[in-house]
């Protein structure tokens, strides 16, 4: 999967860097097939995950227990994965601090671009 992703990224860079339309079209076709393979792998992984959940539900013996187990499996989420951002004081996972850091970063970027334009 990771190998396909790196191939796809490399092809995207090659497409952007070339000016020959014939080469560009062949690279686009190749990239499209790789993207289809990636989507297929992701779809298969998701189906496997769902099948495992169904199997665990079906293995429950009691009907009332099966109902509660099904609700538990369906309502279970991966949760919000915490984002770590490097700030002046180290890494933070606090959303409020993250907003401040990201806002300050983009303000700095846009002010640099505005100075270059002037």
Residue-wise pLDDT tens digits, 55-78? 877 777 777 777 777 777 767 665
How many CB atoms sit inside 10 A of residue 12's CB? 15
Q: What is the pLDDT of residue 114?
A: 61
- Global pTM? 0.51
Distance from the Cα of residue 28 to its chain's centroid: 22
Q: Which position has the token pair 């990771």? A: 2
Q: What is the pLDDT of residue 29?
A: 92
Q: Which residues neighbour 69 within 8 Å (Cβ) at sequence distance 6 or greater?
A: 56, 57, 60
For the cut 80, the answer to whether the pLDDT of residue 109 exceeds it is no
Cα 70-68-72 angle, rounded to 5 deg: 55
Q: What is the pLDDT of residue 113?
A: 61
User: Domain boundaries in the chain?
Assistant: 2-75, 85-117
> Average pLDDT for residues 27-56, to the nearest whole number?
87
Q: Is the dihedral of CA 108, 109, 113, 114 positive or negative?
A: negative
């Amino acid at each position: 999967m990771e190998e396909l992703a790196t191939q796809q990224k490399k092809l995207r860079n090659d497409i952007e860097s070339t000016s020959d339309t014939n080469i560009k079209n062949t690279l686009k076709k190749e990239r499209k097939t790789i993207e289809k393979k990636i989507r297929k792998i992701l779809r298969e992984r998701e189906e496997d995950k769902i099948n495992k959940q169904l199997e665990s539900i079906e293995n429950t013996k009691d009907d009332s227990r099966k109902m509660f187990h099904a609700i538990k499996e369906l309502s279970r989420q991966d949760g919000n994965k915490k984002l770590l951002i490097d700030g002046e004081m180290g890494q933070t996972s606090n959303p409020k601090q993250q907003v401040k850091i990201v806002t300050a970063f983009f303000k700095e970027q846009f002010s640099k671009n505005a100075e270059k334009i002037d």
